[in-house]
Amino acid sequence: MLRSFSFKNSLPFTRVCSKSRAHSTLPGVSSSLGTLPTTQSPVVSKLSFFNSVTGDGSKIPTYRVLDGLGVPVEGAEVPEISEQFARRLYEKMQLLPTLDNILYNVQRQGKISFYITSYGEEAAVIGSAAALADDDEVLAQYRESGVLLWRGFTIDSIMAQCFGNHEDTSGKGRQMPVHFGSKQHHFHTISSPLATQIPQAAGVGFALKRDPGRSSKNVACVFFGEGAASEGDFHAGMLLASTLPTPTLFLARNNGFAISTPSSQQFYGDSLSARGPGYGIDTVRVDGNDILAVINAVTEARRRCLESGRAVMVEMMTYRVGHHSTSDDSFAYRGRQEVENKKKIDNPITRFRLFMESRGWWNETEEEELKSRLKQDVLKAFKRAETLKKPDLKELFTDVYAEEPWNIKEQREELAGLLKKYGQVWEPWRDELKSFDDEGKKLLD
């Protein structure tokens, strides 16, 4: 077990022992008055309010392994990773901005409708993925495609989903770009309404607990932003997971913004970490731009989750360097200089690269080779994806219901009628129909 950082699961006047909860009193307060009959709460005679998890009013600390220049901080335990593993981490971190750069521009060219980048959050996402088992169930928000990449989801599959072509086997082209899902990779399909994945994850944790083949083997891991944590669903999910209890791992990406709303307007207390102990959940705050800190924290959090069968939370402090999405211009609400500074001072990729260089595991030539290879791979996949046809048009009406309801039938028949009438005579439709595998013909059967 790691000793150099601690999880919090108590208010100031209690201490958590490894198995049972022992309670001492606030400094200077006598506990000789015993406890209430209904709880273990010690009775005191001094009126005292509290508003801090640390007890002394200080902020919950942030766990770090590497400093901003990739040098281990004093007393830190560097996880024992091999050169090969470090290279895999680095390559996947670099793949994210390569994909983001190209797909952002592809959206700007009007070839896909939407895109969301992971800029600045590469360590939080790849580090978490690396600390999980590949068959842990992941319920993501939308900025975590790196988990899929870590698990072997291919660049072609990323493109297929974004273009909605017939290789998008999970969504069959019916989802917005970035709404990835893959049963094979234990990655539940992203849903746009914020925070819905959080109570769902508590339920997935419950299902795992009830499955003899997977209980004590897998966790349900849920990613969410600090903005999503302002939704009621966050609290419902935390409560459910902590009381049932279920092995649910809460991974919060605190990246400073919910579109244009800064995190300072999301909470008044000590951010998300302060909420964990309120639900009796072991919690730790970590530097989310330090991949080694993320790996240590998530590894230990997952271990606790499995050992106790209870929820655990990790809050990863990071910064959203990119715009919220292709529908946003973040310079309307934050300064360019602030973003430029963050890119330089706290860059998660540079930090890890410097660490690797200090071990003799990386150099300038390899850096250039990797970047050029990744760019070629992504461009090749993009060019291929845009030539592939979309799934059959009739797939638009399938899969949601076991039996087709009357309103879907009505819509399907209406479209079939319009296609019969205009499909071959109206040029825009004739051209558009060619982009589907069945050219719309199966709808007319």
Ligand X SMILES: Cc1ncc(C[n+]2csc(CCOP(=O)(O)OP(=O)(O)O)c2C)c(N)n1
Q: Which residues would be at the binding site for Mg ion (CB under 5 A)?
A: 225-227, 255, 258
Pick between residue 233 and residue 439 the one whose CB is nearest to Mg ion.
233
Tell me how far, at minimum, the Cβ of 142 lies from Mg ion, in Å.
Answer: 11
Pick between residue 37 and residue 193 the one whose CB is nearest to ligand X.
193
8 Å CB contact between 116 and 142: yes
The partner in contact with residue 194, picked from Mg ion, ligand X, none with C-beta cut-offs of 5 to 8 angstroms by kind, is ligand X
Tell me how far, at minimum, the Cβ of 30 lies from ligand X, in Å.
Answer: 44
Tell me how far, at minimum, the Cβ of 69 lies from Mg ion, in Å.
Answer: 26
The partner in contact with residue 192, picked from Mg ion, ligand X, none with C-beta cut-offs of 5 to 8 angstroms by kind, is ligand X
Please give, one letter per residue, the 3-state secondary structure of the chain. Answer: CCCCCCCECCCCCEEECCCCEEECCCCCCCCCCCECCCCCCECCCCCCCCCCCCCCCCCCCCECCECCCCCECCCCCCCCCCHHHHHHHHHHHHHHHHHHHHHHHHHHCCCCCCCCCCCCCHHHHHHHHHHCCCCCEEECCCCCHHHHHHCCCCHHHHHHHHHCCCCCCCCCCCCCCCCCCECCCCEECCCCCCCCHHHHHHHHHHHHHHCCCCCCCCCEEEEEECCHHHCHHHHHHHHHHHHCCCCEEEEEEECCEECCEEHHHCCCCCCCCCHHHHCCCEEEEEECCCHHHHHHHHHHHHHHHHHHCCCEEEEEECCCCCCCCCCCCHHHCCCHHHHHHHHHHCCHHHHHHHHHHHCCCCCHHHHHHHHHHHHHHHHHHHHHHCCCCECCHHHHHCCCCCCCCHHHHHHHHHHHHHHHHHCCCCHHHHHHHCCECCCCHHHHC
The partner in contact with residue 323, picked from Mg ion, ligand X, none with C-beta cut-offs of 5 to 8 angstroms by kind, is none
Spatial separation of the C-alpha atoms in residues 150 and 126, rounded to whole Å: 7
Residue nearest to Mg ion (CB): 225
Tell me how far, at minimum, the Cβ of 286 lies from Mg ion, in Å.
Answer: 16
Tell me how far, at minimum, the Cβ of 110 lies from ligand X, in Å.
Answer: 22
Residue nearest to ligand X (CB): 225
Pick between residue 5 and residue 115 the one whose CB is nearest to ligand X.
115
Distances (CA, A) of 177 to 88, 113, 138, 232: 26, 7, 19, 26
Pick between residue 225 and residue 280 the one whose CB is nearest to Mg ion.
225
Tell me how far, at minimum, the Cβ of 101 lies from ligand X, in Å.
Answer: 18
Pick between residue 123 and residue 258 the one whose CB is nearest to ligand X.
258
Tell me how far, at minimum, the Cβ of 407 lies from ligand X, in Å.
Answer: 24
Tell me how far, at minimum, the Cβ of 246 lies from ligand X, in Å.
Answer: 22
Pick between residue 229 and residue 284 the one whose CB is nearest to Mg ion.
229
Tell me how far, at minimum, the Cβ of 428 lies from Mg ion, in Å.
Answer: 40
The partner in contact with residue 289, picked from ligand X, Mg ion, none with C-beta cut-offs of 5 to 8 angstroms by kind, is none
Pick between residue 173 and residue 227 the one whose CB is nearest to ligand X.
227
Pick between residue 93 and residue 381 the one whose CB is nearest to ligand X.
93
Tokens of residue 220, six digits = 């349900």
The partner in contact with residue 324, picked from ligand X, Mg ion, none with C-beta cut-offs of 5 to 8 angstroms by kind, is ligand X
Tell me how far, at minimum, the Cβ of 255 lies from Mg ion, in Å.
Answer: 4
8 Å CB contact between 189 and 217: no
The partner in contact with residue 185, picked from Mg ion, ligand X, none with C-beta cut-offs of 5 to 8 angstroms by kind, is none
8 Å CB contact between 309 and 279: no
The partner in contact with residue 275, picked from Mg ion, ligand X, none with C-beta cut-offs of 5 to 8 angstroms by kind, is none
Pick between residue 143 and residue 151 the one whose CB is nearest to ligand X.
143
Pick between residue 314 and residue 416 the one whose CB is nearest to Mg ion.
314
The partner in contact with residue 177, picked from Mg ion, ligand X, none with C-beta cut-offs of 5 to 8 angstroms by kind, is none
Tell me how far, at minimum, the Cβ of 254 lies from ligand X, in Å.
Answer: 8
Pick between residue 192 and residue 216 the one whose CB is nearest to ligand X.
192
The partner in contact with residue 193, picked from ligand X, Mg ion, none with C-beta cut-offs of 5 to 8 angstroms by kind, is ligand X
Spatial separation of the C-alpha atoms in residues 321 and 304, rounded to whole Å: 32
CA 318 to chain centre: 12
Binding site for ligand X (CB under 6 A): 143, 192-194, 225-228, 253, 255, 257-259, 320, 324
The phi, psi pair for 412, rounded to 5°, reads -60, -45
